[in-house]
Homo-oligomer: A and B are copies of this chain.
Amino acid sequence: MHFASDNSGPALPQVMAALTEANTGYAMGYGADPIMTEVRQHIRDIFEAPEAAVYLVATGTAANSLALATLCQPWQTVFCSPVSHIHEDECNAPEFYSGGAKLTLVGDADKMTPDALRAAIEAEETRGVHGPQRGPVSITQVTERGTIYSLDELNALSAVAETHGLPVHLDGARFANALEALGCTPAEMTWKVGVDAVSFGGTKNGCLGVEAVIFFDPKHAWEFELRRKRGAHLFSKHRYLSAQMQAYLHGDLWRESARKANANAAHLVAGLKGIPGVSFAHDPQANMVFATMPRAMHKALFAAGAVYHIWSGSLEGDDPAAPVTARFVCDWSIPREEIDRFLEIAASAV
């Protein structure tokens, strides 16, 4: 009953097998391995973007920070949601990599709205050289609250960005989960709705640690390569990044894995809906569920060995009915029986 994060489960067996398979003979390092050539082409094909610049790094924070730094000058500000990973969970990595750019928080929710974005952009740079200058818009898809922007919503946001000549970055740490939820193509969720650069996550969806960074305009390629090296994110034995991504993409494994994760979460949500006293803090649209439950229910679940993070409220206190919200993340690997067992315990705790 492990719902702590989609980074706490095991890697996909196919990914592990690919690593082992890649581990023979000699390969030039630093991205010059032949597997990377395949991966690059595969990603270009998937994204219908034959000119795209494609790179691999090992962490999502690296993907985001390096991509943003490439799109952003140090005197600019990045527009993002106040609950975005780049703002809340990267210990100032975007500020570090950009050389001191600012993050402007748009609205007060998981999803930015076009109106809030427009207002935030227009509020900046009314002061000439004195204020921060307008920089890229960064959109998180799936959001950090488990919700998803529709294609229309993405399009509307990037239209605002385009009006002001600002580039758009997509933090796709859970790219595949969003894609499966929307049932669209990678191109439809990115460059066709105005996205310029993507952090294309592999780690949370079954890899050991690999993320692609994709620029649809290859003019950013060389600068990104230098930033990656300078940031110490260029792997010498790069084939082990390439092999993960190769297996991840092969036979649409990445989509299948996300489908499983989303289905697991949907199963959890369906079960929770049937339990009195449980509600949802956010609409669970992908593989993350923010559920509010009575304190006593959490206690019963933890006592039974469930693992997950309390999000707001506290387990401490006298009132067993006090509402406490937790985050439950499902990956591809969580067995259906575990979810059912979890639901049984929760139901019994009513």
A-to-B contact residues, CB < 8 Å: 2, 4-5, 7-11, 13, 16, 19-20, 23-30, 57-62, 65-66, 73-77, 88-93, 95-103, 105, 127, 129-133, 203-204, 208-209, 225-227, 229-237, 240, 307
A5 to B233, CA, bound (A): 19
Provide a sorted-by-A list of 24 A–B residue pairs whose CB atoms are within 8 angstroms.
A5-B29, A8-B26, A20-B20, A57-B232, A58-B58, A59-B233, A59-B234, A59-B236, A75-B227, A76-B92, A77-B92, A89-B127, A90-B229, A90-B232, A93-B231, A93-B232, A102-B103, A129-B234, A130-B229, A133-B226, A204-B236, A208-B237, A209-B240, A232-B233
Contact residues of A: prevailing secondary structure? loop
A132 to B90, CA, bound (A): 7
The answer to whether A132 and B16 touch across the interface, beta carbons within 8 angstroms, is: no
Chain B residues near A11 (CB-CB < 8 A): 23, 237, 240
The answer to whether B8 and A230 touch across the interface, beta carbons within 8 angstroms, is: no
A75 to B95, CA, bound (A): 9
Nearest first, the 4 closest Cβ-Cβ pairs linking A and B are: A95-B100, A7-B236, A62-B232, A61-B232
Pick the residue among B19, B98, B237 that contacts A19 (CB under 8 A). B19
- Copies of this chain: 4
Chain B residues near A225 (CB-CB < 8 A): 129
Residue of B nearest to A77 (CB): B92
Say how far A91's CB is from chain B's closest CB, in angstroms: 4
Chain B residues near A203 (CB-CB < 8 A): 236-237
Given A208-B237, A236-B203, residue A16 in contact with residue B8 (CB < 8 A): no
Given A129-B30, A237-B7, residue A101 in contact with residue B91 (CB < 8 A): no
Say how far A73's CB is from chain B's closest CB, in angstroms: 8
Chain B residues near A102 (CB-CB < 8 A): 92, 95, 103
Pick the residue among B28, B62, B92 that contacts A100 (CB under 8 A). B92
A127 to B61, CA, bound (A): 15
Chain B residues near A92 (CB-CB < 8 A): 74-77, 100-102, 132, 230
The answer to whether B16 and A4 touch across the interface, beta carbons within 8 angstroms, is: no
Say how far A142's CB is from chain B's closest CB, in angstroms: 16
Residue of B nearest to A235 (CB): B209
Chain B residues near A93 (CB-CB < 8 A): 229-232
The answer to whether A232 and B26 touch across the interface, beta carbons within 8 angstroms, is: no
Chain B residues near A66 (CB-CB < 8 A): 232
Given A29-B5, A100-B99, A237-B11, residue A91 in contact with residue B209 (CB < 8 A): no
Given A129-B226, A237-B208, residue A24 in contact with residue B8 (CB < 8 A): no
A232 to B213, CA, bound (A): 14
Pick the residue among B5, B130, B232 that contacts A231 (CB under 8 A). B232
The answer to whether A10 and B29 touch across the interface, beta carbons within 8 angstroms, is: no
The answer to whether B28 and A91 touch across the interface, beta carbons within 8 angstroms, is: no
Chain B residues near A131 (CB-CB < 8 A): 88-89, 91
A76 to B5, CA, bound (A): 25
Say how far A220's CB is from chain B's closest CB, in angstroms: 13
The answer to whether A7 and B23 touch across the interface, beta carbons within 8 angstroms, is: no
